[in-house]
Amino acid sequence: MAEYPLTEEQIDSYRRDGFVELHDILSAEEVADLRDALEEAMQAPSTSGVDRTGRSDYDRVFLQKVNLWADHEGVRRFTCHPRIAEVARRLAGADRIRLWHDHALIKPHVDSKPSPWHQDLPYWPMEQQGALSCWLALDDVDETNGCMHFVPKSHTWGKLEPINLINPQDIFGLTPEPAEKDFTPRPVPLKAGSCTFHNGLTFHYAPANRGSTPRRALVIIFMPDGTTFSGKLHCVTHDLGLSPGDPIIGERFPVLAPVGVG
């Protein structure tokens, strides 16, 4: 499969609901290669970002390593995969799409904690909206082992306060008119090699992993070219000397689609 056969209905559904599920974006062979690469990358020293693979409360939500693509060729092949980036570009409606960062999110099956309801954009140092995540399943996932859940249309609620992922606040305390908001979550079970894309403002959650093996996902986060820095402290930009209003560009944030640009 060269290009993913993304339909207009899927693009409409992403824009209406704030997320969309896409089946078999990777072949079985690619899934096997990515599992091997991720396994190696999780063991290797991290030169470029967050490495939370210890025993804290946070690690019971998920073990996390950020920007694996920068250190590991086998992961880079997938984080920078033109098929995935082109889907991101079309969903975002952008002329050019850049990588923001990738991260592995491994939800342990022992003493596991849920990933609390949150939006992503409040954590990111971006002045614009429009960034989006590809959550790529490396194991079959359902409600027993930590599949993603989304609240349809919650991306229309605006950017709220960041949620504390260890001791989450009541999200209804954060939304200005909670009574008007339909908080009916939709679980999205996936087969390995399938994915969801979600808008940076869409509320999402994953239950604890009650399965018998870790739940492995690679999350690839994209931003439209032209996204500018807000000044918020973030592990991916903290050493770059950016000032508010500066474009988030450079070799850490390559243009991934269209191919051959930037």
Ligand X SMILES: O=C(O)CCC(=O)C(=O)O
Q: How far apart are the first and last CA of the chain?
A: 24
Q: Which is nearer to ligand X, 73 or 143 (CB)?
A: 143
Q: What is the CA radius of gyration of the chain?
A: 17
Q: Is residue 217 close enough to count as binding ligand X by CB under 6 A?
A: yes
The answer to whether 66 touches 103, Cβ cutoff 8 Å, is yes
Helix, strand, or coil (residue 82): helix
Residue 12 Cβ, how far from ligand X at the closest point, in Å? 22
Of these, 4, 19, 62, 203, which contacts ligand X (CB under 6 A)? 62
| Site mask for ligand X (CB under 6 A), range 142-181, x = bound | ----x-----------------------------------
- The one-letter amino acid code at 211 reads G
Task: Pick one of 37, 68, 201, 206: the residue that binds ligand X (CB under 6 A).
Answer: 206
Q: Pick from 41, 87, 88, 105 the residue near ligand X by CB under 6 A.
A: 105
In the complex with ligand X, the residue whose CB is nearer, 69 or 135, is 135
Q: Is 14 in the site for ligand X (CB under 6 A)?
A: no
Number of H helices, E strands in the chain: 5, 12
Residue among 107, 149, 216, 252 that touches ligand X (CB under 6 A): 107
The smaller minimum CB distance to ligand X, of residues 146 and 224, is found at 146
Containing 76, the helix (H) or strand (E) segment is helix 73-79
Contact 76, 18 (CB under 8 A): no
Q: Is 10 in the site for ligand X (CB under 6 A)?
A: no
190 lies in the binding site for ligand X (CB under 6 A): no
Q: Which segments within the chain are labelled E, that is strand? A: 19-22, 51-52, 63-66, 97-107, 115-118, 132-137, 148-150, 186-188, 195-199, 204-206, 215-224, 255-257
Nearer to ligand X among residue 109 and residue 249 (C-beta): 109
Considering the rule CB under 6 A, would residue 236 count as an interface residue with ligand X?
Answer: no
Instruction: Please answer whether residues 37 and 27 qualify as being in contact, where contact means their C-beta atoms are separated by less than 8 angstroms.
Output: no
Among 17, 102, 120, 225, binds ligand X (CB under 6 A): 120
> Rounded to the nearest whole angstrom, what is the least distance from the CB of residue 198 to ligand X in the complex?
7
CB of 134 to ligand X, least distance (A): 9
In angstroms, rounded to a whole number, what is the distance separating the alpha carbons of residues 2 and 8?
Answer: 18
Q: Which of 67, 79, 112, 115 binds ligand X (CB under 6 A)?
A: 115
Q: Is 83 in a helix, a strand, or coil?
A: helix
Question: Which residues contact ligand X (rule: CB under 6 A)?
Answer: 62, 105, 107, 115, 120, 133, 135, 146, 204, 206, 217, 219
